[in-house]
C-alpha cells in the first residue's frame, strides 16, 4: 500500500495533512509524525471530523538520523514531506537516503547557530540522490515554491526572454494582536532582521535590513497600495542561476508600521539575538525565549481577517508581441476562507497547499527525476493546473506599473 509521511505538526504541517487527506487516493496511508504527539493527534482528530480520513500519528526526533531511518525502513513510505523546520533538512535528507524514500521540503537548510541560509548544503546531496535513484524537491511552499513555478511558467508560455523578476509578498491580514508572526517566530525573525540582498548583472548586492521600500498597488482593492520592503529570500539564489538572460531579481514583502516598530524595539533591546546569555546559571537564547512568549502562529487562524497576495512581477520580451512587456502572475488568498477549510490562516495555507501539490507531482511520477531539484527546473504545467484545482488559483495581469530600479 502507498504510504506518505509528513514530518512536523505546526501551522504548515496542519495544512499539509488536511490537503493530503483530501486526496487520500494519491497519498494512501498518511502518517503525521513530529516531536509532540498531542499536536499530531489533535490534527488527526480534526481531519477525521472533516474528511473521515484516518491519519496515523507517531513521535519522531527528526534530528536523530538513525532513529528516523529505522522508522522509515519499517514503514516503507514512498515520500517524506519535511514540514518541520529548516534545521531538520539535512538530517531528514540523510534518513531518506538511508531508507530509500523520496524527499520534499518548503525551506532551505539553515544551521541553528548561524542565521544564514543557502542552498549549497542541500545541492551537495545531488550525486547521492542521483545514485540512490531518489528525488529531493527543495522549497515546495509558496515562496519559495509557487514563485519558482510562476517563473518557469512565464518562461515557457509568456516570455522569450526574462529580464527582471520582482517577487512581491503581501499579507494584508489583521489578527488584532499587538504583535505576532505568521509562521514560526524564530525562523521568521531571523529572516527579516538579516541584511537585504538582491541579484543584479551577475552580482549580489547587500543593503541594511528593511532600508529600501517603495509603494506597490495590488490588484485587489481589499489590499490596495502598500509599502513593500526589499528582503533577501532563498528562491533568489536558485532563480538567479536557473533563469537564462536574467538581469535582476529581487524580493519584497509588506510590513505594517506597527510590525516594524515592534521588531525594531525587540531588536534594540537584544530580544532577537541568537547569542546565548546566562540567567541564574541557565543558558538561554533571547530569540528562543521571545518565541515562547509570542503567540503560536497556529493560534492565529480564527483571529485573522483579510487577504494575502503573492506574485511575480516579470519584465521581458513577450512571446505574443516580441516587444518588452510586464506581467504580474499572482494568487489572492482570504484568511477566513482558509480557516473555514482547514482551520488555518492564509500564511500556513499558502505554504502548505504547494507542499501537497509538489508531493502530487512526485506521487504521480511527473516530477520523479533522481537528484536534487528546485521547482523552476521541472515542467510547470501540471503544478499550475493543480494550483487551480486545490485552492490557490492564479491570474496573469498585464501590469501597467513597474518598480523603481
Q: Which residues bind ligand NDP (CB under 6 A)?
A: 7-13, 34-36, 39, 60-63, 83-86, 88, 106-107, 141-145, 183-184, 187, 297-298, 351
Q: How far is the CB of 233 from ligand NDP (least distance, A)?
A: 9
What minimum distance in Å lies between the beta carbon of 349 and ligand NDP? 10
Give the CA count within 13 Å in the CB-facing half-sphere of 319: 8
Q: Could you give the dihedral angle defined by the CA atoms of residues 340, 345, 349 and 352, in that order, rounded to the nearest 10 degrees?
A: -120
- Complex with ligand NDP: residue 36 or 214, whichever CB lies closer: 36
Output 70 or 200, the one with its CB closest to ligand NDP. Answer: 70
Judged by CB, which is closer to ligand NDP: 77, or 144? 144
Q: How far apart are CA 285 and CA 319, in angstroms?
A: 52
- Side-chain half-sphere CA neighbours of 9 within 13 A: 24
Nearest residue (CB) to ligand NDP, 120 versus 157: 120
- Using CA atoms of 351, 25, 104, 168 in order, give the dihedral in degrees to the nearest 10: -20
Q: How far is the CB of 258 from ligand NDP (least distance, A)?
A: 21
Say if residues 106 and 92 touch (Cβ distance below 8 Å): no
Neighbours of 242 (CB within 10 A): 18
Q: Nearest approach, Cβ of 183 to ligand NDP (angstroms)? A: 3
Residues 168/310, Cβ–Cβ less than 8 Å: yes
Measured between alpha carbons, how far is residue 100 from residues 26, 79, 108, 143 in Å? Answer: 19, 9, 21, 28
CA distance 169 to 400: 18
- Residue 274 to residues 84, 184, 188, 194, 261: CA-CA distances in angstroms? 20, 15, 13, 12, 20
- Which is nearer to ligand NDP, 33 or 159 (by Cβ)? 33
Cβ at position 22, least distance to ligand NDP in Å: 18
- Comparing CB distances to ligand NDP, the nearer of 44 and 315 is 44
Closest approach of Cβ 338 to ligand NDP, in Å?
A: 13
Shortest reach from residue 251's CB to ligand NDP, in Å = 12
Calculate ∠ Cα 133-135-140, nearest 5°: 180
Q: Taking the complex as a whole, how short is the minimal distance between the CB of residue 351 and ligand NDP, in angstroms?
A: 3
Nearer Cβ to ligand NDP (63/161)? 63
Distance in angstroms (rounded) separating the CA atoms of residues 190 and 263:
11
Which residue minimizes CB distance to ligand NDP? 10
Rounded to an integer, what distance in angstroms lies between the CA atom of residue 11 and that of residue 184?
8
CB-nearer residue toward ligand NDP: 326 or 386: 386
Nearer to ligand NDP, 7 or 246 (CB): 7
Smallest gap from Cβ 229 to ligand NDP, in A, equals 17
* Closer residue to ligand NDP (CB): 187 or 209: 187
Q: How far is the CB of 345 from ligand NDP (least distance, A)?
A: 10
For the chain, the maximum distance between any two Cα atoms, rounded to a whole number of angstroms, is 69
Amino acid at each position: 500500500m502507498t504510504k506518505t509521511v509528513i514530518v512536523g505538526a505546526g501551522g504548515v504541517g496542519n495544512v499539509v495533512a488536511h490537503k493530503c487527506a483530501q486526496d487520500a487516493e494519491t497519498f494512501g496511508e498518511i502518517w503525521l509524525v513530529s516531536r509532540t504527539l498531542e499536536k499530531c493527534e489533535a490534527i488527526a482528530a480534526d481531519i477525521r471530523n472533516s474528511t473521515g480520513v484516518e491519519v496515523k500519528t507517531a513521535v519522531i526526533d527528526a534530528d536523530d538520523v538513525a532513529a528516523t531511518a529505522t522508522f522509515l525502513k519499517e514503514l516503507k513510505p514512498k515520500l517524506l514531506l519535511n514540514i518541520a523546520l529548516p534545521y531538520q533538512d539535512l538530517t531528514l535528507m540523510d534518513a531518506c537516503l538511508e531508507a530509500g524514500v523520496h524527499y520534499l521540503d518548503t525551506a532551505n537548510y539553515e544551521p541553528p547557530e548561524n542565521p544564514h541560509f543557502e542552498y549549497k548544503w542541500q545541492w551537495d546531496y545531488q550525486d547521492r540522490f542521483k545514485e540512490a535513484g531518489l528525488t529531493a524537491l527543495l522549497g515546495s511552499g509558496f515562496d519559495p515554491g509557487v514563485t519558482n513555478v510562476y517563473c518557469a511558467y512565464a518562461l515557457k508560455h509568456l516570455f522569450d526572454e526574462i529580464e527582471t523578476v520582482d517577487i512581491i509578498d503581501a499579507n494584508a491580514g489583521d489578527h488584532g494582536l499587538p504583535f505576532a508572526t505568521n509562521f514560526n517566530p524564530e525562523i521568521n525573525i531571523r529572516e527579516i532582521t538579516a541584511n537585504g540582498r538582491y541579484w543584479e548583472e551577475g552580482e549580489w548586492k547587500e543593503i541594511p535590513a528593511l532600508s529600501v521600500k517603495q509603494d506597490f498597488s495590488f490588484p485587489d482593492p481589499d489590499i490596495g497600495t502598500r509599502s513593500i520592503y526589499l528582503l533577501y529570500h532563498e528562491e533568489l539564489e536558485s532563480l538567479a542561476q536557473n533563469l537564462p538572460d536574467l538581469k535582476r531579481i529581487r524580493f519584497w514583502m509588506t510590513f505594517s508600521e506597527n510590525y516594524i516598530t515592534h521588531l525594531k524595539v525587540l531588536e534594540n533591546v537584544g530580544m532577537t539575538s541568537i547569542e546565548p546569555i546566562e540567567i541564574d546559571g541557565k543558558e538561554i537564547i533571547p530569540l528562543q525565549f521571545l518565541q515562547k512568549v509570542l503567540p503560536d502562529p497556529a493560534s492565529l487562524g480564527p483571529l485573522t481577517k483579510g487577504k494575502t497576495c503573492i506574485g511575480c512581477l516579470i519584465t521581458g520580451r513577450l512571446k505574443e508581441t516580441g516587444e518588452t512587456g510586464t506581467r504580474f502572475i499572482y494568487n489572492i488568498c482570504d484568511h477566513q476562507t482558509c480557516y473555514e477549510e482547514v482551520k488555518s490562516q492564509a500564511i500556513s495555507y499558502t505554504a502548505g497547499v504547494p507542499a501537497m501539490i509538489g508531493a502530487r507531482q512526485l506521487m504521480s511520477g511527473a516530477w520523479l527525476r533522481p537528484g536534487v531539484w528546485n521547482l523552476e527546473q521541472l515542467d510547470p504545467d501540471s503544478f499550475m493546473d493543480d494550483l487551480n484545482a486545490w485552492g490557490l488559483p492564479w491570474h496573469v495581469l498585464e501590469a501597467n506599473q513597474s518598480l523603481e530600479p
